Amino acid sequence: PPGHGFGVPPGGAGFSGYPQPPSQSYGGGPAQVPLPGGFPGGQMPSQYPGGQPTYPSQPTTMIQGTQGTIRPAANFDAMRDAEILRKAMKGFGTDEQAIVDVVANRSNDQRQKIKAAFKTSYGKDLIKDLKSELSGNMEELILALFMPPTYYDAWSLRKAMQGAGTQERVLIEILCTRTNQEIQEIVRCYQSEFGRDLEKDIRSDTSGHFERLLVSMCQGNRDENQSVNHQMAQEDAQRLYQAGEGRLGTDESCFNMILATRSFPQLRATMEAYSRMANRDLLSSVSREFSGYVESGLKTILQCALNRPAFFAERLYYAMKGAGTDDSTLVRIVVTRSEIDLVQIKQMFTQMYQKTLGTMIAGDTSGDYRRLLLAIVGQ
């Protein structure tokens, strides 16, 4: 929720921040930076009920070693799978279990081949056939699984800006977390598939500092050098302090420049330097200096620099917490991360919320939709 630290478990015990992945599974964990207790102004920010928080980040080894829950199937036969799907949809009723078994156990690349084999064998479009057999959340989930990843991101952005109102959180979730290459491919795909310019659409749908942040993000031009310049981290921390806490008002462009251009490892070092210097962590400074969507966007970048799987775990938790479920967020994150880092997202989820992602999905969904989601999550 706005104004809170993030990743606070239900019951809000202490500052959970972004929890630390178990160090034994990745070899030496990172050094944690304790924040001194004496906050300027003599008052602790409210999100630290327990006194001195530590702000864990992700061990570098974990970043390289992320893994998905879905792997390409061995001895894969696209024609055979196409036939299984055809039989599952033919005649009376639909054999959803057969569809689940195929779809959840093939990589996205293999699903594209099944789509092609289906058209070759039957002269029909698999997606159209599936659409006529399915509805609601199950339909949305299956369609998402059959879109190539870049197209699905581009489609989600387009959908978020179509019609009245804009789903800003979708724009943040995609544009602030993807790699340069992913973003450049999304921009190209958006143009070729929808005949539109992503940057132009963002400009006409957002405004102010939030617009500038998203335009910066869609350049896909962040420094991706993995080595850290500690001197620069120190200087950036100083500049951020002087642009925010250290003055009346906020120099937003300074935050935009540093958070949009520096590599994630570099930003992590800047956050550590900042908390040593300012006696406050950079995330809570961003919360004090910004509000609304630009605050969410800046925090998302910092959260990804610290621990990307934890960012997605938190988004999943809030998609299901409370009454009702934000199904499109649930579908989008489970599908887009299924071959990248869903294994780590599940670990983070358990650590942050003391329950497994599977348990929460099972309690919040039903029917074939639940079955397919759980099969992807690997429950």
For the chain, domain boundaries: 78-134, 150-219, 226-306, 309-377
> In this predicted structure, what is the pLDDT of residue 165?
76
pTM: 0.82
Q: What is the pLDDT of residue 64?
A: 54
- Highest-confidence segment of 86-90, 208-212, 375-379: 208-212
- The pLDDT of residue 66 is 72
Report how far residue 247's alpha carbon sits from residue 140's, in angstroms, rounded to the nearest whole number: 48
User: What is the pLDDT, as a whole number, of residue 141?
Assistant: 97
Q: Report d(CA 180, CA 183) in Å as an integer.
A: 5
CB 52 within 8 A of CB 44: no
Please report, rounded to a whole number, the percentage of residues in the chain having pLDDT higher than 90. 75
Using the predicted structure, report yes or no on whether residue 140 has a pLDDT greater than 60.
yes
> For 336-370, what is each residue's pLDDT tens digit?
999 999 999 999 999 999 999 999 999 999 999 99
Candidate CATH numbers 3.50.50.60, 3.20.20.70, 3.40.50.970, 1.10.220.10; the one for domain 78-134: 1.10.220.10
pLDDT of residue 90: 83
Tell me whether the CATH fold assigned to 78-134 matches the one assigned to 226-306: yes
The CATH homologous superfamily to which domain 309-377 belongs is: Annexin (1.10.220.10)
Model confidence at 195: pLDDT above 80: yes
Nearest to 345 by CA among 302, 298, 377: 377
Average pLDDT over residues 138-151: 96
Task: Evaluate if residue 29 carries a pLDDT over 60.
Answer: no
Quote the mean pLDDT of the chain. 86
* Mean pLDDT value across residues 144-148: 97
Q: What is the pLDDT of residues 239-266, one digit of tens each?
A: 999 999 998 889 999 999 999 999 999 9
Residue 17 pLDDT > 60:
no
CATH code of 226-306, in short, is 1.10.220.10
Written as one string, the DSSP assignment of 194-235 is HS--HHHHHHHH--HHHHHHHHHHTT-------S--HHHHHH
> Region 137-145: what's the mean pLDDT?
95
CATH class in words for 150-219? mainly alpha
| 54 against 195, higher pLDDT | 195
